[in-house]
Structure 1
Amino acid sequence: MSKDATPKLLKVLLIEDSEMDALLLTEQLRAGGYDPQTQRVDNADDLQEALQRRSWDIIFSDHNMPQFSSTEALEIVRSSALDVPFIIVSGEIGEDVAVAAMKAGAQDYLMKGNLARLVAATARELHDAQERRARRAAERALLAQEEEFRLAREIQQRLFPAGPPELPEFDIAGASLPAAATGGDYFDFIQTRSGELYVVVGDVTGHGFGPALLMADVRAYLRALTVSDERFEDILARVRGLMIEDLGYDHFITLFFAKLEPTNGHWTYINAGHPPGYVISADGTVRDEMMPSTPALGIDRDELPLVARELTLKKGDLLLLISDGIPEARNRTGEEYGEERVLELVKKVRHKTSAEIIKALMDEARAFAHSKFEQDDMTAVVLKL
């Protein structure tokens, strides 16, 4: 060690009956660049007390002592569930005993008459112990993340309607496939007593528990407000106002909010930063493209007026709403599935039922991405007249 180097603090537990041998080992560590803070024990009771009283960086143990042995000491240390490097330093130890100790969890063994490897063995085991702790911390974080995503998926699945609404002359379906890291996709059908149907498709930025809870709030607000007598635009304006504080500056929500009057096919909608929706006529042409008409909720903090747009669905029309997880599915080269492929597929299978169209669309997007797990939630709603 250079003269200017600062000794590394090292908390050392010595299981040793010889005070002189303990001193020699300590001096060897000090010469190797460590500042050893030591405690010496030579029996089971003192060892257990020392383990409970403080944490240790490393443990050195003699093998044969009048009241104790390294075998007993190692058993006590391992039963305490502490991950502390344990090195046997003994005047005499048979090879078979040393091998058995290594199998039982000792990291190394050294002879008292030859401590040349002591400093190197100490550095190695300290490094390995640090790596083990880092690996366990990463594993715990991964498990916690997986549990968060599991809970988020559970919340998300509870947001979806139990089934599609049954309306004369309409075939309606919706579905959502969660990503491995669950996002905040959501869709809903809300029928009113007057016979109107509200259709919602939304997406909260981010993944995990937070976005799932935010979308649960949106669902609750919309379900409460759609039964009121408020104007269509005012319902979404109220939701936006209520969500601003919850969203903070880390999240925003894209939302396609629409109302269908089944008796005349009148469709009123606001697209707040969401991917466009499409109306495809019976001959396969795109008759209407429902582009965003206002920023996503949370981006527009000045609360600009929400302007609804209107159209009338005709017999044979197909209405498609999707989340960005479908057109943005990427293959191995980074190419996106894209809206063009979405429309081509839907046109090709437009004669199928709404549920079959959604399944075909999601199957093809997943096949394109060559991924067993979705990179982002995939959500689609199809309405056929």
Structure 2
Amino acid sequence: MSENQSKRTVLAVDDTPENLDVVKGILSPDYTVKAAINGKMALKIAETQSPDLILLDIMMPEMDGYEVCERLKSNPRTSGIPIIFLTAKDQTMDEAKGFELGAEDYILKPVNPPILKARVKTHVALKQSRDALQQAYGIIKGQKDRMEEELNVGREIQMSMIPLKFPPFPDHDEFDIYATLVPAREVGGDFYDFFFVDENHLCFCVGDVSGKGVPAALFMAVTKALIKSRAADDRSTGSVLTHVNDELSQDNPSSMFVTVFAAILNIATGELTYTNAGHNPPYVKHPDGSIRALTERHGPIVGAMSGMAYGEETTHLSSGDLALLFTDGVTEAMDVGGNLYSDARLEKLLKESQLGSVEATVDTVLSSVKRFETGADQADDITILSLRFSGA
């Protein structure tokens, strides 16, 4: 860049050519100086050439400096240009009015070269700083907007992939099921699902994908689809997750993974087959008020490494038993002090609460978590699924 190209531009506005010559003589070694002999010309140059500073005479015919200043500051294209008023010693200047209109400074005429240079240097430097801040703000805002858009897309993917109609199976009185997913602002990859694999077997699952945003939402969608596809021909939850793990780990350059609890319920007998792959242990509450945690682990997280064989467990649900599945957005919810909601708090809630319908159960847990979080941001998705077996 040449010396001339690197110079900042100053627009001098005065109806007396001799005064313009003086300003040019003082500033030309360090600045590119543009000249305007009236307000109309000044407005045109300011809008088309965007000078870094304007030296503006007050007393001019037709349009005085105050009016020029007011017009410049009301125009978005010129409002950011700093203005220094020039006024003769024998002229009356309304300083308050000038500053109210947006001027940064004023200098008395005849100008003192060192003072003029110092004031111009100061205000040009301030404008450079403001411009740099504005540019940085624009970059940050652009990144923020892109992130917000990604979050919105991720949230739309996530919510479009989970069943939202309740009750989902109104013709079945063998069980009731209800679930909710409350996405955090920074969308994660939580999901839940439930579907019949045949007329007597209901598959239901809850999962939590690593990562945030669109990648997590897409990984969640693939995981959910693989589980549903495999379960259509396989009544073994261990076999289902073994297959899903092999599929997800084949082409996974970002090393994403998902924790899953998957179960298949025989709605005729209450037999429950389930596999826990690195997920939070669910709870079963019995009609007598006792609580059982399904703490068995049958394999690691899904998608991290191929060739893993997942096991399974079989138990029976009795009439009135209620199963509660959830993600770590429940137990790892934090209050303003950084304390975790915890498994112990959830278990205590389940023991002490008179749980009603499956929907009321989910609402009870969610309300408890939200009260605990009061004043703190929700850091992770919260997913809760409740199923009550009523028997054949």
Bin for the TM-score computed over the shorter chain: 0.7 to 0.9
Match of 2:147 in 1: 145
What are the superposed Cα offsets for residues 186-205 of structure 1, whole Å, 9 maximum, x if unpaired?
Answer: 11112224332111211122
- Which letter maps to 2:358? S
Is residue 347 of structure 2 the alignment partner of residue 343 of structure 1?
Answer: yes
Checking the alignment, whether the CA contact within 8 Å between 1:87 and 1:110 is kept in structure 2 is no
Confirm or deny that 1:332 pairs with 2:336: yes
Q: Distance in 1 between matches of 2:366 and 2:280?
A: 16
Equivalent in the alignment of 1:367: 371
Query: 1:326 offset after TM fit, Å?
Result: 0.8
Which piece of structure 1 moves more, 108-117 or 275-284? Answer: 108-117
- Whether 1:200 and 2:205 are equivalent positions in the alignment is yes
- Aligned mate of 1:14, from 4, 7, 10: 10
1:176, 1:380 within 8 Å by CA — same for their partners in 2?
yes
Answering whether residue 356 of structure 2 is matched by residue 352 of structure 1, we say: yes
Residue of structure 2 aligned with 1:87, choices 74, 83, 97: 83
1:119 and 1:215, CA in 2 relative to 1: closer, same or farther beyond 3 A? same
- State the one-letter code of the partner of 2:240: I
Distance in 2 separating the partners of 1:251 and 1:68? 67
Question: Matches of 2:327 and 2:224 in 1, distance apart?
Answer: 16
Q: How many angstroms does 1:369 deviate by? A: 2.0
* Compared CA separation, residues 140 and 197, structure 1 to 2 (3 A): same
* Alpha carbons of structure 1 residues 178 and 60: separation in structure 2 relative to 1, 3 Å: same
**Does 251-260 or 127-136 show the bigger shift?**
127-136
Question: 2:249, 2:306 within 8 Å by CA — same for their partners in 1?
Answer: no
- Give 1:109 deviation, angstroms: 4.1
Partner of 1:254: 259
Q: C-alpha offsets along residues 240-289 of structure 1, whole Å, 9 cap, x if unaligned?
A: 33433665335322121221121111222222211111223333333342
Report deviation, 1:210. Answer: 2.7
Partner Cα distance (1:232, 1:46) in 2: 75
AA partner of residue 86 (structure 1): P
Output the TM-score relative to the length of structure 1.
Answer: 0.79
Within 5 Å, give how 1:166-181 maps onto structure 2.
166=169, 167-181=172-186
Cα deviation, 1:224-248, whole Å, max 9, x if unaligned, reads 3333458544433343334336653
Counterpart in the other structure of 1:163: 166
- Structure 1 residue 333: deviation in Å? 2.2
SS in 2 for 1:189: strand
Write the distance in 1 (CA, Å) between the matches of 2:252 and 2:35: 57
- Bigger CA drift: 281-290 or 342-351? 281-290
Instruction: Compare 132-141 and 271-280 and name the one that shifted more.
Output: 132-141
2: CA distance, partners of 1:137 / 1:104: 30
Q: Which amino acid aligns with 2:326?
A: I
- TM norm structure 2: 0.78
Letter in 2 for 1:63: D
Q: Extract unaligned runs of 5+ from structure 2.
A: 14-19
Cα 1:246–1:134 change in 2 (3 A) is: farther
- The letter of the residue matching 2:126 is R
| Equivalent residues of 2:83, 2:104 under 8 A apart | yes
CA distance in 2, matches of 1:177, 1:252: 21
Q: Distance in 1 between matches of 2:7 and 2:255?
A: 43
What count of residue pairs does the alignment treat as equivalent?
Answer: 363
Work out whether residues 214 and 247 of structure 1, in 8 Å CA contact, stay in contact via their aligned partners in 2. no
| % same residue | 26
Match in the other structure for 2:17: none
> Are 1:156 and 1:212, in contact at CA under 8 Å, matched by a contact in 2?
yes
Amino acid at match of 1:50: Q
Q: 1:94 to 1:226 in 2, by over 3 A?
A: farther
Please tell me whether the aligned partners of residues 336 and 376 of structure 2 are also in contact (alpha carbons under 8 angstroms).
Answer: no
Residues of 1 paired with 2:93 and 2:307: CA distance?
Answer: 79
Alpha carbons 1:275, 1:292 under 8 Å: kept: no
1:371-382 aligned within 5 A? 371=375, 373-382=377-386
CA contact (8 A) 2:236 2:312 kept: no
- Give 5+ residue unaligned stretches, structure 1: 1-6, 31-35
One-letter amino acid of the structure 2 residue matched with residue 240 of structure 1:
N
Pair member with larger Rg: 2
Q: Is the 8 A contact 2:334 2:376 kept in 1?
A: no
Change (3 A) 1:382 1:84: same
Alignment-mate amino acid for residue 357 of structure 1: T
Answer whether contact 2:183 2:381 (CA < 8 A) is retained: yes
1:134 aligns with 2:136: yes
Q: Which amino acid aligns with 2:261?
A: F
Summarize the Cα distance change of 1:170–1:48 in structure 2 as closer, same or farther, 3 Å threshold: same
| Structure 1 position 99, deviation (Å) | 5.4
Residues of 2 paired with 1:293 and 1:68: CA distance? Answer: 84
